[in-house]
Amino acid sequence: MNEEMAQPKVSIIIPVYNGSKYLEECLRSILSQDYSNLEIIIVDDGSTDGSASIAKNIASCDQRIIVLTQVNAGPGAARNLGLSCASGEYILFVDSDDLLIRNAVSNSVRLAETKHADLVCFDFESFDDSHVMGRTLSKEFPKYLTSTSRECLMEMYTDHLGYFSWSFLYKANIFTDDGMRFPENILMLEDMLMLNTIFRLQLKVAYIPRALYRYRITSDSLSHGKSIKKAEDALIVIEHVIDMSYADKTIHIFAPSAIRFLVYIDEITPIGVSIKKLMLHRRIKQLLRKMLGVTNTNEFDLENENQNLLNPGKSSANNISIS
């Protein structure tokens, strides 16, 4: 008990939507942490596969687990509900099919306390049901020991980091004092918009160049498959981030990343002749022209980009040319 009282409380927020297949494995990885002062907040986002029952059964055996339920409203709304109930000094987000390495919490908190950091960024490894693929972003993890939040954002823009809310430990006051929340009713890239907002604050970031998080690649991920709703949501986020980047004169750094996302969004837009689909394709093409103009080229080579823009284990488009 004395050891737990000496540890800052960490709230771990897990949004769940039809995650019954992997939820118990995810929770076991959290419950086996070598750090005891945890508050584990599971938010069931209207699941229809018994996820809530699994969560409640495990919660009955561990008083650190809180189970919340809501009508299906998307991952952003689920994380926000978790944030509204969190009482920890630090916040972690974990997706319900992913895993934490056993010392993830202790290492992250120790570095945050030692470096007086507002955020701790750690590496990850991708895996599926058959093997571990390791780090699957195209560029190496940042060399920083500590940096400003703006410098960290530039590492995202240049593909050394992904736009993943689960790859950081956050001081809770980022959400309580600064009022940060995930966009709601957005099914794609909600992490990206939230991170772009947070990392424009004046914050200190510390780095752990080791994989503390295991990202599971599944065929039924939210980011797989063509969907007009997902494509529209993703494009809204990209347009917002482009506006932010123009406002603070970082657009020339973000533009190559924006191009890759726009190509991906075009790929997940269903083919068809409806007005909505045609207008979406037109908006994407207009933004591609604009971003290619920022990079001073009419052709952008993506051939050797192994980064998966949304799932860090799957590559996207190769070469594009807008004429």
Backbone angles phi, psi at 86, to 5 degrees: -70, 140
Delineate the domains of the chain, giving CATH numbers in brackets.
2-216 (3.90.550.10), 228-321 (no CATH)
- Phi, psi values for residue 9, rounded to 5°: -70, 140
3-class DSSP state of 266 = helix
Q: Vertex 268, ends 265 and 270: CA angle to 5°? A: 120
- What does the pLDDT average to over 119-135? 90
- Torsion angle defined by CA atoms of residues 59, 82, 44 and 165, in that order, rounded to the nearest 10 degrees: -110
Contact 263, 320 (CB under 8 A): yes
Q: What is the mean pLDDT of the chain?
A: 89
Q: How far apart, in whole angstroms, are the C-alpha atoms of residue 168 and residue 206?
A: 10
Q: What is the pLDDT of residue 220?
A: 62
Phi, psi at residue 39, to the nearest 5°?
Answer: -125, 110
pLDDT greater than 90 at residue 225: no
Say yes or no to pLDDT of 322 above 60: no
Closest of 33, 41, 43 to residue 4, by C-alpha: 33
Tell the burial category of 322 from Cβ atoms under 10 Å away from its Cβ (0-12, 13-18, 19+).
Answer: middle
Pairing of β 132-134 and β 119-127: antiparallel
> What is the residue-wise DSSP string for 210-253?
EEEEEEEP-TT-TTSS--HHHHHHHHHHHHHHHHHHHHTT-HHH
| Phi, psi at 108, each rounded to 5° | -65, -45
Question: What pLDDT shows up at residue 315?
Answer: 39
pLDDT at res. 45? 97
**Over 70: is that where the pLDDT of 323 sits?**
no
